[in-house]
C-alpha cells in the first residue's frame, strides 16, 4: 500500500500506523490485559515454532524474549489502536507482531519479519479470539473468583452471627412469617456459592481456544502440532487448563463461548444486585425505615443534610450490575457479526467481556470489605415480630385458616396484636406461648394439631 510515515519514537510499523489513522473512533485502546496475553501467545508460539524446526533457535529466542516483555506490560504504550477497528482484531495482532519484531530485531541486530517470523503458524482470526478468551479466563481466576469467595465467606460468617435474631419475613414486599436474619444471610451465601460455580463454568467455556484454525479454520500455513503444543505452553504460563478447540470451524466463526460465558456473568451480576438490594432495604432508615441492619458508615452522604449517611458501596455495586447487563447486550448482539467462517465483532465483544469480569471482581471485593463485613444487626427486627400479622399463620393448624385470617384482619384494623385477640378467643397464655414462639416458626413443622384445609 505504499510508504507510511511512522513516529520516530514508535516501535510499531506501517500496519499499526494505518490502523491509527483509519480508526480515530473512541480513543479507547485495547485493554492491557488482552495485549499482555497476546504477548504470552506470541512467546509460546515462537518457542513452539523453534521446537518444530520452523524458526531458527536464535530468532525464536529473541521473539520469545521480546514477547515476554510485552506480556510483562513494559510496552503497553506501544499499542495505540482503537477498540473499534477491524472486526477480526487484525490491527491489534499486527501491532503486536510489529512491536515484537522490532524488539527482537534489536536483540539480533537484524530485521525480524512481523508476518513471516513473529506470526508464523498464526492468523489474526485465531490469535485474537484466543487472546480475548484467555484474558477473560485469567481475570476470572485472579480477580472474580477470589472476590466471590471473600463475599461468600463474609455472608456465611454473618449468617452464623445473626442466627439468634428472629425478624419478620417478607414476601411480595408484605409481612410474612418470621425468619431468622441468619437464614436470610444463609440464602445469600448460597447464592454466591452458585455464582462461584457459574464463574468457573464461564471460565471453562473460555479456556477452549480457537488457536490453530488460522484463516478459516482449516489450519492453513500452520504445522498440525502447532496449536496443541502452544496450548500446553500457555497452560503452564497461566496455570490454567488451556486446550485447543476440537472444532476450529465453529470456534472462530462464532462467539458461542463468549456469549455463554458472559451469560454466566450476567447471572452473577443480577444475583449480587438481589443481595445488595436486600441489605440496602434492611438498612433503610435509620429512623423512618426498616433499620434492621446498621450499614458501615463510609462517607458523608449529603452536601446539604448534615449527618446523612447513604449506602454508597451498594450503589456503586448496583451501577456495575447495570454496566454488566449492558455489556451482555453488546456481547449478545456481537454474535450477529458471525458470517461464514469468521465473526467480525471480536474486539468489541472481547472488551465488553473483560470489562464485566474486572468490574464484577473489583465491586464484589469492595462490597465485602466496605459493607458486608461491617454489617451489624439492630433490635428493630425482633421488636417488630410481636406486632406481625402473619403470626396468625401459626394458629391456622389449631383454629383453621378462616379464623386465623379473621384474626389477622382484625389485628390490622384495630392495631392490636395477634396474641391479644387470640387470648380473647379462649386460647390459654401457655398455649399461645407455645404456638407463637417466633423461633419455632423459623423451622419446619405444623405447630399445632393438624386440621383439614
Instruction: Give per-residue pLDDT as tens, 339-349.
Output: 999 999 999 99
324 in Cβ contact with 353 (< 8 Å): no
- What pTM does this model have? 0.94
Flag whether pLDDT at 453 surpasses 50: no
Instruction: Give per-residue pLDDT as tens, 51-74.
Output: 999 999 999 999 999 999 999 999
For the residues 5-20, what does the mean pLDDT come to? 97
Which CATH number is 14-120's, of 3.50.50.60, 1.10.275.10, 1.10.10.10, 3.30.160.100? 1.10.275.10
Asked if CATH classification 1.10.40.30 holds for the domain at 386-442, the reply, yes or no, is yes
For the residues 220-224, what does the mean pLDDT come to? 98
Residues 6 or more apart in contact with residue 335 via CB below 8 angstroms: 254, 255, 256, 259, 343, 345
Residues 6 or more apart in contact with residue 381 via CB below 8 angstroms: 165, 166, 167, 168, 181, 292
| CA distance linking residue 314 with residue 268, whole number of Å | 15
Mean pLDDT of the chain: 95
Residues 6 or more apart in contact with residue 334 via CB below 8 angstroms: 255, 258, 343, 345, 346, 348, 349, 352
**How high is the pLDDT of residue 432?**
87
- Report the sign of the C-alpha dihedral through residues 160, 161, 162, 163, in that order: positive
**How high is the pLDDT of residue 52?**
98
133-167+179-210+248-379: what fold? Fumarase C; Chain A, domain 2 (1.20.200)
Q: Look up cell 396474641; give the residue.
A: 419
Q: Report which of residues 37 and 423 the model is more confident about.
A: 37
| CA distance linking residue 403 with residue 416, whole number of Å | 16
- Model confidence at 222, pLDDT cuts 50, 70, 90, reads very high
**Domain extents in the chain:** 14-120, 133-167+179-210+248-379, 386-442
Q: Is 14-120's fold the same as 386-442's?
A: no
Instruction: Give per-residue pLDDT as tens, 121-154.
Output: 999 999 999 999 999 999 999 999 999 999 999 9
- Model confidence at 447, pLDDT cuts 50, 70, 90, reads low
166 in Cβ contact with 385 (< 8 Å): yes
For the residues 427-439, what does the mean pLDDT come to? 88
Flag whether pLDDT at 425 surpasses 80: yes
Residue count (the chain) = 453
Flag whether pLDDT at 244 surpasses 90: yes
**How high is the pLDDT of residue 336?**
98
| CA distance linking residue 451 with residue 360, whole number of Å | 50
Going by the DSSP 8-state scheme, the letter that residue 284 receives in this structure is -
Flag whether pLDDT at 90 surpasses 70: yes
Residues 6 or more apart in contact with residue 190 via CB below 8 angstroms: none
Flag whether pLDDT at 48 surpasses 90: yes
Q: Which residues are catalytic?
A: 172, 302
| Listed ranges 308-317, 366-375, 432-441; the one with the highest mean pLDDT | 366-375
Other CB atoms within a 10 A radius of the CB of residue 23 amount to: 16
Q: For the chain, report the end-to-end CA distance as a whole number of angstroms.
A: 84
Amino acid at each position: 500500500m505504499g510508504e507510511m510515515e511512522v513516529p520516530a519514537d514508535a516501535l510499531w510499523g506501517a500496519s499499526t500506523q494505518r490502523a491509527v489513522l483509519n480508526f480515530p473512533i473512541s480513543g479507547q485502546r485495547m485493554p492491557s490485559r488482552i495485549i499482555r496475553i497476546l504477548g504470552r501467545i506470541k512467546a509460546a508460539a515462537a518457542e513452539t515454532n523453534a521446537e518444530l524446526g520452523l524458526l531458527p533457535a536464535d530468532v525464536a529466542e529473541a521473539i520469545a524474549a521480546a514477547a515476554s516483555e510485552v506480556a510483562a506490560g513494559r510496552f503497553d504504550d506501544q499499542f495505540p489502536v482503537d477498540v473499534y477497528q477491524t472486526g477480526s482484531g487484525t490491527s491489534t495482532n499486527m501491532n503486536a507482531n510489529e512491536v515484537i519484531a522490532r524488539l527482537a530485531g534489536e536483540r539480533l541486530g537484524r530485521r525480524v519479519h512481523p508476518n513471516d517470523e513473529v506470526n508464523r503458524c498464526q492468523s489474526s482470526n485465531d490469535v485474537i479470539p484466543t487472546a480475548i478468551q484467555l484474558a477473560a479466563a485469567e481475570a476470572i481466576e485472579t480477580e472474580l473468583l477470589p472476590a466471590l469467595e471473600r463475599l461468600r465467606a463474609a455472608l456465611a460468617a454473618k449468617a452464623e452471627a445473626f442466627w439468634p435474631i428472629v425478624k419478620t419475613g417478607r414476601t411480595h414486599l408484605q409481612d410474612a412469617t418470621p425468619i431468622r436474619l441468619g437464614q436470610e444471610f444463609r440464602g445469600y451465601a448460597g447464592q454466591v456459592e452458585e455464582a462461584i460455580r457459574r464463574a468457573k463454568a464461564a471460565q471453562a467455556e473460555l479456556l477452549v481456544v480457537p488457536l490453530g484454525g488460522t484463516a478459516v479454520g482449516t489450519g492453513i500455513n500452520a504445522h498440525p502440532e502447532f496449536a496443541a503444543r502452544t496450548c500446553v505452553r500457555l497452560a503452564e504460563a497461566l496455570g490454567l487448563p488451556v486446550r485447543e478447540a476440537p472444532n476450529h470451524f465453529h470456534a472462530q466463526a462464532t462467539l458461542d463461548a463468549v456469549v455463554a460465558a458472559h451469560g454466566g456473568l450476567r447471572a452473577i451480576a443480577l444475583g449480587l444486585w438481589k443481595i445488595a438490594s436486600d441489605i440496602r432495604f434492611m438498612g433503610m432508615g435509620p429512623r423512618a425505615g426498616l433499620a434492621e441492619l446498621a450499614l458501615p458508615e463510609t462517607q458523608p452522604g449529603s452536601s446539604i443534610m448534615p449527618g446523612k449517611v447513604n449506602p454508597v458501596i451498594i450503589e456503586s455495586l448496583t451501577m456495575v450490575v447495570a454496566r454488566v447487563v449492558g455489556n451482555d447486550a453488546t456481547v449478545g448482539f456481537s454474535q450477529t457479526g458471525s458470517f461464514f467462517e469468521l465473526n467480525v465483532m471480536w474486539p468489541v465483544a472481547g472488551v465488553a467481556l473483560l470489562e464485566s469480569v474486572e468490574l464484577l471482581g473489583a465491586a464484589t471485593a469492595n462490597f465485602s470489605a466496605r459493607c458486608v463485613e461491617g454489617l451489624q444487626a439492630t433490635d428493630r427486627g425482633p421488636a417488630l415480630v410481636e406486632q406481625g400479622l402473619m403470626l396468625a399463620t401459626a394458629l391456622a393448624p389449631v383454629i383453621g385458616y378462616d379464623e386465623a385470617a379473621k384474626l389477622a384482619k382484625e389485628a390490622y384494623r384495630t392495631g392490636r396484636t395477634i396474641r391479644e385477640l387470640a387470648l380473647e378467643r379462649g386460647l390459654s397464655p401457655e398455649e399461645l406461648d407455645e404456638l407463637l414462639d417466633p423461633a419455632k416458626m423459623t423451622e419446619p413443622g405444623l405447630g399445632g394439631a393438624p386440621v383439614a384445609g
